[in-house]
Structures are given as C-alpha cells and as structure tokens.
Chain A
Amino acid sequence: MTVGIVMLVHADFDRAAQIARHWVDGGCPVVIHIDKKVSDAKVSSFKATLADIDEIKFSERHKCEWGMWGLVAATQDASELLLQSFPNVRHVYLSSGSCIPLRPVQELVAYLDAHADTDFIESATIEDVTWTVDGLEEERFTLRFPFSWRKQRRLFDRYVSLQRRLRVKRKLPFKMQPHIGSQWWCLTRETLEGVLKDPLRGKYDKFFSRVWIPDESYFQTLSRTHSRKIESRSLTLSKFDFQGKPHIFYDDHLQLLRRSDCFVARKIWSGADKLYETFLRSPEDALTIAEPQPEKIDRLFSKATERRVKGRHGLVMQSRIPNDMWRHGKSCREYAVFEGFDSLFEDFIPWLKRTTELRVHGHLFNQDIVEFADGETMFKGGMSNSKHLRDYDPTGFLRNLIWNARDEHQAFQFGPQDNQSIHWEFATDPNACVAMITGAWLIDGFRKGLPFEELRKTAAKHQKIESTHRDALQSGYANAKSRIWTLAEFLEAPAENLSLVMNDISPGLGRQITEAPKMVDLTGFGAFVQNLKNEGMNPFVLGDFRQDDGREVSEKPARKPYLVR
C-alpha cells in the first residue's frame, strides 16, 4: 500500500514538475490540479514535461481564489481521480507546488504504514482556535462570503458589515460543531471516500461554498463524522505570519529544516536551489522513523512575528517610529538621574564611579556642552558633545545614549541650570530612577561667591524651574521611580538617604557602600539663606532650613523620605 499525492499548482511549474517526479520516484502516484487562471500555453508545456510518467494525472481545472470555494472543489476532484485511478493508495496527502518533502518518501510511507487507520488533519473547534487573523471566527460559517477578499476587499468588508447589521445567521446543515485547521492534510482512503460519497454532500457543498476560507474547514469538519481515528495535526510544516500569509523557506534554512524531522514543508521559495537539490536527492542514509519536531522553526518564526509586532523597546529607527513611545518603551534599559548631589558632595561623580559599576556622566544637558563621563568629547555610537547637535533633538539624544550603551547602567546629573527640554521625558519613563535634592543647586552659588544681585535673580529663576520639574515627577503622568528631598530633609540623615537611593538604582547596592562622599563645607550657608530671605526671596525648595549650619541639623533623628512611584 502506498500514499497518493494531490498537488495544487498555480505557478513555478519547473519546481512543481521537479517535486512531482520526486514523489513518483518514491513510489507515490500524483494527481495535479492546475489553477484555471493559468494560461493554456503554460499548462500544455507543463503537461508535456510530465507526459512520460503514467503515475501522474491531471484533474479537472477550477479557478482558485484564495479563501474561496474553488480550492475545495479542486481538491475534491483531484482526490476522486486519485482514489479511482490508483487502487493501491491507502493515504491521500494534500500538498502544493511549493511543498517540499524533507525526508525520503519511503520514510513517509513507512510512517503511514505504522499509522494505517489514522487521519492526520488539524481540526479544532472555533472556540479553541487563536490563530485567525481576520477577526472572523464563528462568522466564517454564519455569514455569506461571495466576494473575493483579495480583489474585492471593499465589497467584502461592506457585505460583512451589512450582514452583521441585518443579523444574518445561516443555519448549519449538520449537527456537529464546525472545525477549522491547516489546509494541508493527509487522510485515509476510507475517510476521504466517506466525505466524497456522503449522501448529503450536495447540501454540504452548497453550504461550504459560501463559507469564508472553506479549504480550512470543509474536510476539517466533515472528516470528524467519517474518521475512525483523527490525529489533529498536520504532517506539513507550514507556519503563518501575523498577516496570515505563509512563511517562506530559503537556502539558509537548510540545517533548520533538516533537523526538524518534518515530512513536508511549505512554502519553499522557488529560487532556493540548495533546498531543492538537497531534499530531492535520493536518500543515502538508513531510513528513520523519528517523530517530527518543528519547535525550533516555530521559535524562529514567532521571534520574527514579535519583531514585527512589538519591535525592540527604546529603539527608534527608519522602520520603527512609534507614535506613542510611552506605550512601546521610551528607553531600552534602566538609568539613574541625580539632581543636586554633585552640589552637595564635593567629589560626588568620582565617588559614584569608584563605588559602583555605573557609567557616570556629568550634566549631559549642560547649557554649554555635553558632559560625557570622564570628560570625553564623544561617546558610544559616535555621539558628539556639541550642544547644538544635542538640542536639535534632545529626546532622541537621551534615547540614543541609553540605546548605544545598553550593556551598561548609566547615570547622569541634572539640575535647573541645565536644558530642561527632556525633563518630562525621563519623568514619564519607568526605566528612569531619579534622586532629587531640591535647592541643593543654591550651594553652588553660595560657594562661588557670586555678586548677590545676580545670584538673587538666577536663584529665583532656577527655583521656578526646579519646582516645575518636581511637580512633573510627582504628577499622575510620572512613571519614573523617584525620591525627592528638600535640602533640609536630606541633611537630616545624608548617609541613610544616599543608601536608599543606591538601593533604588540596584537592590543591594546601598549595602556595598563602605566609604561616604565628602560633603561640602556648609559653614555660613544658613546665614546665606537667611540673607536671601531678608532680600525678599522665599527659597522654599530648600525646605525648612535653619540659620545654624547644616551639620548641626543632621544630628537629629531621620525622617522617612517619601517614595514616589
């Protein structure tokens, strides 16, 4: 007993002829259906190339439109011809002109001999199916689909919505549940004859001829009543992408296909010379009866679909321009922003670099120049320290910075004296970890000893900027992990607070710190603040700062800072 092949062909006739010969050489008779749309000249030359083989027959031609009844009619006629002409056929294998047998034909025959009364047809009830891409599930059966989805899309869509509005619901002509599954099946003679010679076939055909994609449901449903034993899986390896079109195999998939142990794969690119050459060679090795293992190929294709649907978070490139970065990942990994720390601690940046693994930048958004880590003039990816280049697209600058060094955890300093255009950007980024000491920037002015009048003016400006930024971090839109202290609050327990920040950035980091950064000398800062107040400014960002200097305050018990998430 052997396997008969039904082959649906509509293009690439050279390849189809090659495959048909291969099946026959392996002892399997073939019935070929050629799409009616193919020109007569092509058909006759194709037939002529195969005229020397008796085991190849051609069935009556139907017009095959994707998703329409023609494909089923073609399959029915071809199967009937096959069963009639070749009485030694026990299993019928439905394939196409771009399906290639991956294993020796004898292995398939042996495998089917071992499963003599099993029908291999993927067949699941609609409720259990998750792969449909068109949004039409149950409606495939309950609505009518006289229009082509490919060529008459507008009519198709309108007729569907019209029927929905009119609440059209066709009655099924049978009691069983409709099933759907892969178009490519392998059925036993008994089952197939049962379906084809069913006394109610006329009624069924009439119903299915208006069903959407009947080639995925006709045999899948009807074989349920006639089969003795159904294995609901396809022996043909055929993967669909997110648009529902089949993935294509190329020469570089050779090893993957070989190791899959699948019997037949579709769809093979017609130019994949190496695949055709390799798999259509007569077998040299001893035959095996291994079970198919398509998992690796599944993984490859599901990765590809994920790349197409989700993409890489935090990346903007020529073919990925998310409208809404917030939903699709603003940045590709976590990073830290320190505000005010380098004003309060003398050696904060070198200290941070020394005690952690972080890549520590200075004020990246400094109004004059980009302060990359270690005073470099350029950074990964060829980023320049020109403020013009940065300010041309500040958001893009930040995104590039994180993307280019995505193997590192980066940190940068930020303050009200910097370019503020990205402050919402990181405030809304869940990957950002922000630690802020409000008012600390005043220490810079205090230490520089700037003329009081000038200082008073910039202080007012910076205070305004800083409070706007703080509001952003505390707003309902913020997604950054942030800790905010006023200078006075922070000074109550600097070491503890610093340790909290470190733990936010990376759990356990706080405990590793053995050495503390050196705080600037705040002697006289209290008086300086009082002076500002006397001049009429209200430095509220400092918190409740007293006239006695900072060190005395810090001896008091620490208050818990608040954590905004």
Chain B
Amino acid sequence: MGFRQSYRLRLKRKRYLWRAWRKSRELRNVVDRSQNLPGNGIFVFSTLRNEAVRLPYFLEYYRNMGVDHFFIVDNDSDDGSTQYLAPQEDVTLYSTKASYKSSRFGVDWLNHLQHKHGPGHWCLVVDPDEFFVFPFCDSRPLRALTDWLDASSMRAFSAMLLDMYPKGPINDTEYFAGDDPVEASGWFDSGNYTYKRNHDIGNIWIQGGPRSRLFFPDDPHKAPALNKTPLVKWEKSFAYLSSTHSLLPRGLNHNYETNGGEKASGVLLHTKFLSTFATKAKEEVKRGQHYANSQEYIAYADANEENPEIWCKWSEKYINWRQLEVLGLMSKGNWA
C-alpha cells in the first residue's frame, strides 16, 4: 500500500470519526448504566427500531454467551421497545428521532458510542435479528474466544451473514416474543456464495444466499453484502464504514488467510424472514430509510405480494456450528 492510499484512508477514517461526533448530538441518553463496568467486559452495540417482539430472546441469547453490557440506540420505536429496554439492568439506552439514513444506517451513532465506551473492550455489533455463532460456542463462552484472540494478537473476528428462512411461506411463520427465531426459521443456503476481494480496504465482499437467488437473479451485483466483522477489540481510532461490512484501519478487515490456510471465523445467523417481515418490508419501503434507496426492501415487498417460499429442496436445516464448519461457511482455524 502506497503512501497516498494510506493517507487517503486515514483522512476517510478521520472523516467518519468526525461524522460520528457530529451525529452524536442527535442521541438522547435514556438510561445510563455504563459506570462500574468490568475493565475486561464484552459489550454489545445495537441500533433498532420497533423490535419489541425480538428483544427478549436477543438479550437472553447474548447474556448466555457472556456479554456484560448492551449499548442500544432506539431509533424512534413506537411498539414498546423503549419501555422494554429501559428497565433492563445491563442496558444503556439512547434514543433518537433523527434520520436512520442520514446517520448512515446507524453506523455514525454506534461509532460514537463505541468511541466513547468501547476502547480496550471486545465489542460485538449486531442487529436484533443477528445471532453470532463462533467455533465451540456450544461449549465455550464468548470470553474463551476473546481471550484466545488476545493471545493470538488478533484484533478482529469475521462472521459472515447467513440468511435464515422458514420452510413454507414466510407469512405463515408465526413468531412470538421469547421464541428462538432460529427455530422458527431454521433453514439456509449452504453453498451459493461469491467471494471477492476489495483491494482498497482489504475486505472480502461476499454475496449470494437466498436473497441473491430470489430477489436479484438477473442482477446479482446488487445483491446485499454478507461479509461482516462484528467482533473487534475496539480502539478510539477505529471506525466502521458501512454497517459492520468493513472498517478502518484496513488491517481490521484482513481476517482471512491468503496462503491456503484457514483463519478462525464465525457466522451471524440472520433471522430476518419471519412473519413480522412482510409488514416491516412495506413500512421500510414507505420510510425509504434503508441502504441504496431501500432497493432491497422494494424487491422483497414485491416478492412478498405473492407470499413467496424461500425454501427449496436443497436448503439445509441448521443444527449447530460444527455443521456450518463442515459445510465450509466458517472455520475453527487453529483453535482446538
């Protein structure tokens, strides 16, 4: 990497940090429980809007994994999400009515919160419909992973987004608060992904899966990105660029081996396709607050008119992380 590129990326990073600071004025602190957090605590950062039905399971899932605290930005919910979150003992809650889109889909807000609370901590940035799976997650807590990453001098850990869907039409899959969404939508595509290297910021651009084959069969270039780096040992100078798909400094994106071996990696089970989805898609199209003019949601809303079935006979039923490892979607690397 030449000096020019390096300097350009540095400026870019500074610009995003500046943006994060500017956008931080849109945040109002509802409850602050961030004092007296353990010095080696693991934190979850999340932005959400109207996710009340998903929150009970979401919080429980990450608590069981060993997360010490949640920093949540509530973007103008009116379904009781705020009321549910505020009394939770391990939640620091912010709220804002500002535009999701102009905060670059929540990234600016979270960059600010991470800048403020994250340095020196392992930070996991996930949406309420994303469930982090890592090697040995059924027998080892998250801290075992972060300790190992520390010992291996690794600062970030990648986990690609794996879209989960139910068998049968989406609208017929009922979901109630507290249910395991992976149980309700337990299927996924195991082997139709494309991997492209972005040499500018060093990340891998992953596309494919059910969204690509159903909603973008004629224009795969537009299919959503699935690469994610949700777990990072945060420092003040770090900044996410677009969602958790990539971040700066660019070395944090380089969590893959180019010499034939495999580094350790995980998966984010993305349980977007539940019965709640159709309403959400319609609403989001109306709001127009999502990436690339909500193109994705428009495609979904169109397809949803017919209440489509994503499932096909080659869909895989989710069992555990070992299955994902065997299928080649994640890797233990040299962690044993």
A271 touches B259 (CB 8 A): no
From 166 to 218 in chain A, residues with beta carbon under 8 angstroms from any chain B beta carbon are none
One of A27-35, A78-86, A356-364, A385-393 at the interface: A385-393
B204 touches A384 (CB 8 A): no
Q: Does B139 contact A (CB under 8 A)?
A: yes
Alpha-carbon distance A400/B213, docked complex (angstroms) = 15
Q: Does B323 contact A (CB under 8 A)?
A: no
Q: Which residues of B contact A232 (CB under 8 A)?
A: none
Q: Does B136 contact A (CB under 8 A)?
A: yes
Q: Does B77 contact A (CB under 8 A)?
A: no
* A49-93 to B contact mask, C-beta < 8 Å, 1/0: 000000000000000000000000000000000000000000000
From 148 to 205 in chain B, residues with beta carbon under 8 angstroms from any chain A beta carbon are 148, 151-152, 158-160, 189-197, 204
B159: shortest Cβ distance to chain A, in Å? 8
Q: Does B106 contact A (CB under 8 A)?
A: no
One of A107-115, A245-253, A347-355, A542-550 at the interface: A245-253
Alpha-carbon distance A33/B195, docked complex (angstroms) = 50
A322 touches B259 (CB 8 A): yes
Alpha-carbon distance A307/B315, docked complex (angstroms) = 27
One of B4-12, B55-63, B111-119, B327-335 at the interface: B327-335
Most buried by A among B204, B221, B259: B259
A311 touches B140 (CB 8 A): no
Chain B's closest residue to A309 (CB) is: B261
From 249 to 293 in chain A, residues with beta carbon under 8 angstroms from any chain B beta carbon are 250-252, 269-271
Of the candidates B140, B152, B194, B213, which one forms a contact with A245 in the assembled complex, judged by CB atoms under 8 Å apart? B152
Q: Which residues of A contact B207 (CB under 8 A)?
A: 392
B191 touches A404 (CB 8 A): yes
Q: Does B317 contact A (CB under 8 A)?
A: no
Q: Does B209 contact A (CB under 8 A)?
A: yes
From 290 to 317 in chain A, residues with beta carbon under 8 angstroms from any chain B beta carbon are 300-301, 303-305, 307-312, 315-317
Q: Does A378 contact B (CB under 8 A)?
A: yes
Q: Known contacts being A307-B334, A321-B258, is A400 close to B218, with CB within 8 Å?
A: no
A269 touches B147 (CB 8 A): yes
Q: Which residues of B contact A321 (CB under 8 A)?
A: 195, 197, 204, 256-258
A318 touches B256 (CB 8 A): yes
B195 touches A316 (CB 8 A): yes
Q: Which residues of A contact B210 (CB under 8 A)?
A: 382
Q: Does B124 contact A (CB under 8 A)?
A: no
A308: shortest Cβ distance to chain B, in Å? 3
Q: Which residues of B contact A393 (CB under 8 A)?
A: 194, 196
Q: Known contacts being A301-B336, A327-B260, A389-B213, is A382 close to B191, with CB within 8 Å?
A: yes
**What's the interface size class on A, roughly?**
35 or more
Q: Does A514 contact B (CB under 8 A)?
A: no
Chain A's closest residue to B255 (CB) is: A319
Q: Does A243 contact B (CB under 8 A)?
A: yes
Most buried by A among B193, B263, B334: B334
* B75-115 to A contact mask, C-beta < 8 Å, 1/0: 00000000000000000000000000000000000000000
Chain B's closest residue to A329 (CB) is: B260
Q: Which residues of A contact B315 (CB under 8 A)?
A: 382
Q: Does B141 contact A (CB under 8 A)?
A: yes
B265 touches A382 (CB 8 A): no
A381 touches B218 (CB 8 A): no
Q: Which residues of A contact B121 (CB under 8 A)?
A: none
Q: Does A565 contact B (CB under 8 A)?
A: no
Q: Known contacts being A304-B334, A319-B331, is A382 close to B190, with CB within 8 Å?
A: yes
Q: Known contacts being A304-B332, A382-B210, is A318 close to B143, with CB within 8 Å?
A: no
Q: Does B271 contact A (CB under 8 A)?
A: no
Chain A's closest residue to B139 (CB) is: A252
Q: Does A403 contact B (CB under 8 A)?
A: yes
Most buried by B among A270, A318, A327: A318
Q: Known contacts being A311-B257, A378-B313, A379-B314, is A319 close to B191, with CB within 8 Å?
A: no
Q: Known contacts being A271-B147, A393-B196, is A380 close to B191, with CB within 8 Å?
A: yes
Chain A's closest residue to B218 (CB) is: A388
Q: Does A320 contact B (CB under 8 A)?
A: yes
A381 touches B263 (CB 8 A): no
Alpha-carbon distance A539/B206, docked complex (angstroms) = 44
Q: Which residues of B contact A329 (CB under 8 A)?
A: 260
Q: Does B120 contact A (CB under 8 A)?
A: no
Q: Does B283 contact A (CB under 8 A)?
A: no
Of the candidates B194, B204, B209, B261, which one forms a contact with A310 in the assembled complex, judged by CB atoms under 8 Å apart? B261
Q: Which residues of A contact B20 (CB under 8 A)?
A: none
Alpha-carbon distance A243/B210, docked complex (angstroms) = 38
B220 touches A308 (CB 8 A): no
Q: Does A396 contact B (CB under 8 A)?
A: yes
Q: Does A46 contact B (CB under 8 A)?
A: no
Q: Does B262 contact A (CB under 8 A)?
A: yes
Of the candidates A242, A317, A396, which one forms a contact with B262 in the assembled complex, judged by CB atoms under 8 Å apart? A317
A380 touches B262 (CB 8 A): no
Q: Does A152 contact B (CB under 8 A)?
A: no
A269 touches B144 (CB 8 A): yes
Most buried by A among B190, B261, B329, B331: B261
Q: Does B37 contact A (CB under 8 A)?
A: no
Q: Which residues of B contact A301 (CB under 8 A)?
A: 336
A386 touches B213 (CB 8 A): yes
Q: Which residues of A contact B190 (CB under 8 A)?
A: 380-382, 404
Q: Which residues of A contact B314 (CB under 8 A)?
A: 378-383
A271 touches B261 (CB 8 A): no
Alpha-carbon distance A480/B314, docked complex (angstroms) = 30
Alpha-carbon distance A386/B212, docked complex (angstroms) = 11
Q: Which residues of A contact B147 (CB under 8 A)?
A: 248, 269-271
Q: Does B227 contact A (CB under 8 A)?
A: yes
Of the candidates A271, A309, A400, which one forms a contact with B143 in the assembled complex, judged by CB atoms under 8 Å apart? A271
B13: shortest Cβ distance to chain A, in Å? 23
Q: Known contacts being A317-B331, A318-B158, is A251 close to B139, with CB within 8 Å?
A: yes
Alpha-carbon distance A270/B144, docked complex (angstroms) = 9
From 101 to 150 in chain A, residues with beta carbon under 8 angstroms from any chain B beta carbon are none
B195 touches A311 (CB 8 A): no
* B49-78 to A contact mask, C-beta < 8 Å, 1/0: 000000000000000000000000000000
7 pairs of A and B residues whose beta carbons are closest in the complex:
A381-B191, A382-B189, A308-B334, A328-B260, A304-B336, A319-B265, A404-B191
A residues in contact (CB < 8 Å) with B? 241-243, 245, 247-248, 250-252, 269-271, 300-301, 303-305, 307-312, 315-324, 327-329, 378-384, 386, 388-389, 392-393, 396, 400, 403-404
B residues in contact (CB < 8 Å) with A? 136, 139-141, 143-144, 147-148, 151-152, 158-160, 189-197, 204, 206-207, 209-210, 212-213, 217-221, 227, 255-265, 312-315, 328-336
What are 28 A-B interface contacts by the 8 Å CB criterion? A245-B151, A245-B152, A250-B140, A252-B140, A270-B147, A271-B141, A304-B334, A304-B335, A307-B333, A308-B261, A309-B261, A311-B261, A311-B262, A319-B255, A319-B257, A319-B264, A320-B261, A321-B256, A324-B260, A378-B312, A378-B313, A379-B314, A381-B314, A382-B314, A386-B213, A389-B192, A392-B221, A396-B195
